[in-house]
């Protein structure tokens, strides 16, 4: 496969072939048109395509798009197609094709649930039924080939494919990339291990994530140093078994650590993006941790530096609606009790998805301390923004400490991109910001011996509901957060905008 005169041989995974073309030495500040050929035959852009020419741009990063939870669009002939409403990323791509190139975004961050392995579209369910009729789990993917069909369905959407061919994209998984509630608790892992199809599922899920998402997060130097990538590209034979063996090992927990680090860092000039794996990196034996101590050491090391803006990507929000935050910390305490109280706490945890940062209290507090430390250094960044998704509503919250930071610290959540939940969730999320409920739960947390929150936060925008995409426009040490929601007839509609650092932090 070749592009811009650079080429790479494909590698085989089961029935399919893949290639990653590494391109270095491009002129800075340029916009370079390109095309992709396979064995000398042009394959992208497709012949007769009406969209603007695909380009590689080396002009630096000023606009970052982000969001999470994008279910594939149902095809028009499917019953109940697009029941969750218009796709916000698709709507952005349509608009982007009409914009002058200088107004295009420079980077895209997808914060989890890029595919729904346990909730596929009707087309995929029908395909699965024909492929393995009568086999469990019905209506869910299991094998690498089935995962590949999910990615192909979602990313072959013409507008999405065009957008991703022009905008550098970083990604991290969340639970639905593997299965709902993935790694919620040790009990959950034990329950899943008893299912006869689970071993194949986790092997295929993480192997496909490595191919479709993870290696695209790594720079040329990191790829060159990666022993697995080297083995895969030099194998000259089917590497499915090799990748799935690696995936199975990556899922293990060994002596309070995970053998594979999916977290990563990318620098865009004076902007640092640090993405944290909040799913596979969890420690669930003994003390519950969102990521192991060794990996958190790596996070702390890579969060330090001289830059204007620190963007921390976490599929799960750090700062949640106050009532939900306190309830999750209370539940963690209850589920750790012996006997029936612990069993009840675990049932509530799994039923209500109580698995965010506050449900890993030690990690919640360690991240709070890290952000405070970074925000009070002599060369503190102008903003520290935690970018998240998952919770199917969008909001912005401002964090403050007893010892004030120099940096503006914000939790920015954009969810979903295309997967609006039942309307009852809107009432629940709105109520979870209510002060009386939060205060009552905080008093209960005090009685249960849960430590005081090391950080205070207030909502400055939201909650906003509906399929949305967010952006950060960065100009030196200033930035602007914008949230846009997709409407059937109107396209994207702006629903929130904040200038950072905040001039009036009490505005909602």
Q: Residue 309 is encoded by which pair of tokens?
A: 């803006």
Q: How many CB atoms lie within 10 A of CB 166?
A: 22
Distance CA 68, CA 97 (A): 22
Q: Are 125 and 118 in contact (CB under 8 A)?
A: no
Secondary structure E strands in 39-150: 41-44, 55-57, 63-67, 107-110
Model pLDDT, residue 79: 43
- Residues across the chain: 508
**98-156 residue pLDDT tens:** 999 999 999 999 999 999 999 999 999 999 999 988 899 999 999 999 999 999 999 99
Angle at 91 between CA 390 and CA 56, to 5 degrees: 90
Task: Burial-class residue 496 by CB neighbours within 10 Å (0-12, 13-18, 19+).
Answer: buried
Average pLDDT over residues 158-167: 96
Contact 457, 411 (CB under 8 A): yes
Token couple for 127:
């395909």
Domains of the chain by residue range: 1-59, 60-500
Beta-bridge partner residues of 461 = 396
Tell me, what's the pLDDT at 327? 97
Instruction: Tell me which residue of 352, 356, 470 sits closest to 414, measured CA to CA.
Output: 470
pLDDT of residue 267: 95
pLDDT value, residue 80: 45
Model confidence pLDDT, tens digit, residues 408-452: 999 999 999 999 877 888 888 889 999 999 999 999 999 999 999
Strand partners, 494: 484
pLDDT (0 to 100) of residue 304: 95
What burial class does residue 223 get, using C-beta atoms within 10 Å of its C-beta: 0-12 exposed, 13-18 middle, 19+ buried?
A: middle
Please tell me the predicted confidence (pLDDT) of residue 48.
82
**Whole-angstrom distance, CA of residue 328 vs CA of residue 335:** 10
Q: What is the dihedral of CA 189, 190, 191, 194, to 10 degrees?
A: 120
Give CA–CA dist 384/371, Å, rounded.
8
Q: In what order do the strands lie in the sheet with 491-500?
A: 169-171, 107-110, 63-67, 468-475, 478-487, 491-500
CB 215 within 8 A of CB 208: no
The answer to whether 3 and 21 are in contact (CB under 8 A) is yes
Domain 60-500 is in which class? alpha beta
Q: What tens digit of pLDDT does each residue of 52-101 get?
A: 999 999 988 999 999 999 999 876 555 444 678 899 999 999 999 999 99
Which residues on adjacent β-strands are paired with residue 102? none
| Burial of 238 (C-beta count, 10 Å sphere; 0-12/13-18/19+) | middle
Half-sphere exposure of 368 (CA within 13 A, CB side): 23
CA distance 345 to 352: 11
In degrees, to the nearest 5, what angle opens at C-alpha 8 toward C-alphas 6 and 13? Answer: 155
Give per-residue pLDDT as tens, 185-212.
999 999 999 999 999 999 999 999 999 9
* Residue 290: alpha-carbon gap to chain centroid: 15
Please give the model's pTM, rounded to 2 decimal places.
0.95
Distance from C-alpha of 313 to C-alpha of 264, rounded to nearest angstrom: 10
């Amino acid at each position: 496969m070749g592009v811009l005169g650079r080429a790479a041989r494909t590698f085989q995974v089961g029935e399919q072939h893949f290639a990653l073309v590494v391109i270095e030495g491009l002129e800075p500040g340029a916009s370079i048109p390109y095309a992709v050929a396979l064995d000398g035959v042009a394959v992208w852009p497709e012949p007769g395509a009406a969209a603007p020419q695909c380009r590689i741009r080396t002009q630096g990063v000023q606009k970052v798009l982000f969001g999470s939870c994008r279910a594939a669009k149902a095809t028009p002939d499917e019953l109940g197609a697009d029941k969750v409403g218009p796709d916000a990323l698709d709507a952005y791509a349509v608009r982007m094709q009409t914009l002058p190139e200088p107004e295009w975004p420079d980077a895209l961050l997808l914060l989890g649930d890029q595919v729904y392995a346990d909730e596929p579209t009707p087309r995929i369910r029908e395909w699965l039924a024909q492929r393995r009729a009568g086999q469990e789990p019905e209506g869910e993917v299991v094998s690498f080939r089935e995962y590949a069909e999910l990615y192909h369905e979602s990313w072959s959407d013409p507008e999405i494919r065009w957008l991703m061919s022009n905008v550098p994209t970083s990604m991290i998984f969340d639970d639905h990339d593997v299965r709902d509630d993935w790694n919620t608790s040790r009990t959950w892992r034990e329950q899943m291990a008893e299912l006869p199809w689970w071993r194949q599922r986790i092997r295929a899920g993480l192997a496909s994530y490595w191919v479709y998402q993870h290696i695209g997060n790594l720079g040329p130097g990191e790829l060159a140093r990666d022993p697995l990538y080297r083995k895969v590209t030099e194998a000259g034979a089917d590497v499915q078994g090799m990748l799935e063996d690696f995936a199975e090992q990556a899922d293990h927990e060994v002596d309070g650590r995970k053998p594979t680090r999916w977290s990563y860092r990318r620098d865009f000039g004076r902007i640092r993006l640090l993405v944290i794996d909040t799913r596979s990196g969890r420690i669930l034996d003994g003390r519950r941790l969102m990521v192991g101590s060794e990996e958190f050491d790596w996070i702390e090391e890579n969060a330090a530096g001289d830059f204007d803006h620190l963007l921390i990507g976490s599929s799960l929000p750090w700062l949640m609606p106050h009532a939900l935050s306190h309830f999750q910390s209370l539940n963690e305490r209850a589920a750790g009790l012996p006997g029936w109280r612990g069993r009840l706490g675990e049932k509530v945890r799994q039923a209500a998805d109580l698995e965010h940062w506050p449900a890993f209290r030690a990690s919640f507090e360690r991240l709070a301390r890290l952000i405070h430390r970074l925000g009070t250094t002599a060369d503190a960044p102008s903003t520290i923004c935690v970018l998240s998704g998952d919770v199917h509503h969008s909001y912005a919250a401002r964090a403050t400490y007893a010892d004030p930071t120099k940096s503006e610290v914000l939790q920015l959540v954009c969810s979903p991109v295309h997967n609006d939940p039942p309307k009852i969730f809107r009432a629940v999320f709105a109520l979870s910001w209510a002060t009386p409920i939060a205060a009552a739960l905080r008093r209960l947390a005090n009685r249960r011996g849960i430590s005081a929150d090391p950080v205070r936060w207030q909502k400055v925008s939201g909650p906003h509901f509906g399929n949305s995409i967010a952006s950060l426009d960065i100009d030196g040490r200033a930035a602007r957060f914008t949230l846009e929601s997709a409407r059937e007839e109107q396209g994207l509609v702006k629903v929130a905008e904040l200038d950072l650092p905040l001039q009036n932090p009490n505005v909602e």
